[in-house]
Amino acid sequence: MSSSLSALNQWVEAVRRRTRAKHVHWCDGSDNEYDTLVEGMLARGELIALNAKTHPRCYLHRSHPDDVARVEHLTYVCTEERDDAGPNNHWMDPAEAHAQMDALFDGSMRERTLYVVPYCMGPLGSPMARCGVELTDSPYVVANMRIMTRMGKAALERIEREGHFVRGLHSTGELDPRRRFIMHYPEEATIESYGSGYGGNALLGKKCHALRIASWQARDEGWLAEHMLIVGVQTPAGDIHYIAAAFPSACGKTNLAMLIPPEGHRNKGWKIWTVGDDICWMKPGADGRLWAINPEAGYFGVAPGTSEATNANALAMLGHDAIFTNVALTADKKPWWPGLPGKPKTDWQGRPYDPANGPAAHPNARFTVSATQCPSWSPEAEAAHGVPISAIVFGGRRASLMPLVLEARDWTHGVLMGASMASETTAAASGKVGVTRRDPMAMKPFCGYHFGDYFEHWLSFAHDDAELPRIFHVNWFRSDDEGQFLWPGFGDNMRVLEWILARVSGQVEARETPVGRLPHADDLPLDGLPLADGALEALLSVDTEAWRDELAAIERHLASFGERLPQALTDELANMRKAITGQGEPMHAAD
């Protein structure tokens, strides 16, 4: 037995003794194992079989009403030095955290089975992939991990070859929200999660491993672990350019990953390929370019808001072999949420639907499905070498200020764009409209270390031999005085992607402004798109007075990261301020 498997066996035995699990099951990832897990959950009422004719091999899981989302206020990064976790994370001393979690895990799996789940994040043959093992007492977690990762025998064999893996220990415990914690120990490559069965808290390969732990590993090893989609854009000439894009929640991230181009673009030969919808690992290749993989094998997507009108590709993949969580049901046992045809009969808690009890489907209801079921899935998602990234796109929801699309002048300016990206809240989200929330690179809940060090790590990729992607910022949500969106969004966002690729390939010039490079109006492919009078001018406008206020807000935001904030970002912000006030040197025209 290899030393890595010996260490794994010793860990499993130690956990079995501490949790007092009745049985231990080593998962092999087989179809038979999955079917047996599902049959057991059906028998115990933990899953409900959906309409076998319309949704074969689809199931509904209803979680505890107090266990329906990530618990960021109970999620900790436990580093030896508090400042290494940074002001962007909740911190706990590792010794204190281990003691607290040891007490919670003591006896937590009595009369339960301890499942050993070896998994690989990324294609099994990829040098960019990383492995982990999750120990859990939840068969629901095992079933989801089989869909979301490359799980089972092959992953265990890779662990044996490599000799290292991320350790994740999870127990649903008693689902008491007062006894619910998610601890990350990046220096130990270890995760402990107790008291929740919800995906982001319990599927430890996802946010916990693929972002919080992986971001620390990536900093140490010279790559990037990012909260980004990866999409391939195929031109009429047959060339495919890959874009990585980061968006905060409610900004259309999944819709962009699975975008269907407008009919005019489809007729010309434009096509979208989905590599990933949520997480992107990027590493410099021998050619100086950034190459990316999607570490996940499935989608854990938000169901409400997914419809034929908003994301037909996502809806098309949900007709078979999917697990739904906290959706409503129709009378004929079809999954239901707003945007779908039919009417709900029972709500997400299994009660007869009554609007007085709240929404039929929980707003954070989810689906879990294999990525290969997406009609736009790219076979390059399994490429061991990954895909080369031509452009990085940041985005946010801003009713004003931010243009439709803005190109960074260089890598440092682009990092500042990402470090300062923000979205304005909607009434549905917070009860207050227009509150600006900063979410650097859409990583605020997921970066496993100090944001100042994280920005410095991004900046370190700019060197003489690098062929880095160009960086852009998009804003689909700019509005008029009546609050109506000026841009139609959804499939028409393809038009902006076309301009981005034209910039990447040097086909069009750009208009230089103090805040970045904007399209010339004639260079945006707007054929067949009826925009309101004055809309395009507003979408591409720069309000210098508003930008003065914005730069002051960005300065306050960056100052919160203290002495670890890179001087290069401070200097870049000062240069923008000089350009806006007219006190700086004139900038050169964009190439």
> pLDDT of 453-465, one tens digit each?
999 999 999 999 9
Q: What is the pLDDT of residues 536-550, one digit of tens each?
A: 999 999 999 999 999
Q: Can you read off the two tokens belonging to residue 74?
A: 């109970």
CA distance 578 to 408: 17
Q: What is the pLDDT of residue 589?
A: 37
pLDDT of residue 27: 98
Phi-psi region of 231 (alpha: psi -120 to 50; beta: other; left: phi over 0): beta
pTM for this structure? 0.96
Pairing of strands 166-171, 190-194: parallel
404 neighbors 475 (Cβ within 8 angstroms): yes
Confidence check: pLDDT of 434 > 90: no
pLDDT given at position 337: 98
What domains can you pick out in the chain, each with its CATH number? 3-47+72-222 (3.40.449.10), 226-296+381-581 (3.90.228.20), 298-373 (2.170.8.10)
The percentage of the chain sitting over the pLDDT mark of 70, rounded to a whole number, equals 97
Three state DSSP letters for 503-546: HHCCCCCEEEECCEEEECHHHCCCCCCCCCCCHHHHHCCCCHHH
| CA atoms of 67 and 453, how far apart (whole Å) | 33
Asked whether the beta carbons of 321 and 380 are under 8 A apart, the reply is no
Quick one: pLDDT band at residue 584, thresholds 50, 70, 90?
very low
User: For residue 52, what pLDDT band results from cuts at 50, 70 and 90?
Assistant: very high
Active site residue 131: no
Rounded Cα–Cα distance for residues 395 and 227 (Å): 12
104: tokens are: 């919670």
Q: How many residues does the chain have?
A: 591
Mean pLDDT of 214-221: 98
Comparing 452 with 589, which gets the higher pLDDT? 452
* pLDDT at residue 427 greater than cutoff 90: no
Nearest to 306 by CA among 281, 324, 321: 324
The tally of CA atoms less than 13 A away on the side-chain side of residue 492 is 17
Q: What pLDDT band is residue 426 in, cutting at 50, 70 and 90?
A: low
Residue 3, pLDDT score: 76
Q: What is the mean pLDDT of residues 568-576?
A: 97
* Whole-angstrom distance, CA of residue 37 vs CA of residue 321: 14
With contact defined as beta carbons under 8 Å apart, do 232 and 273 qualify?
A: yes
Average per-residue pLDDT in the chain? 95
Q: State how far the Cα of 209 lies from the Cα of 190, in Å rounded to an integer.
A: 9
* pLDDT above 90 for 449: yes
Which of 58, 78, 120, 251 is flagged as catalytic?
Answer: 251
- For 470-505, write each residue's pLDDT tens digit: 999 999 999 999 999 999 999 999 999 999 999 999
Asked whether 344 and 360 are in contact (CB, 8 A), the reply is yes
Return the minimum-mean-pLDDT range out of 59-68, 238-247, 508-517, 579-588: 579-588
CA–CA separation, 373 and 516 (whole Å): 39
Mean pLDDT, rounded, for 505-515: 97
The answer to whether 334 and 114 are in contact (CB under 8 A) is no
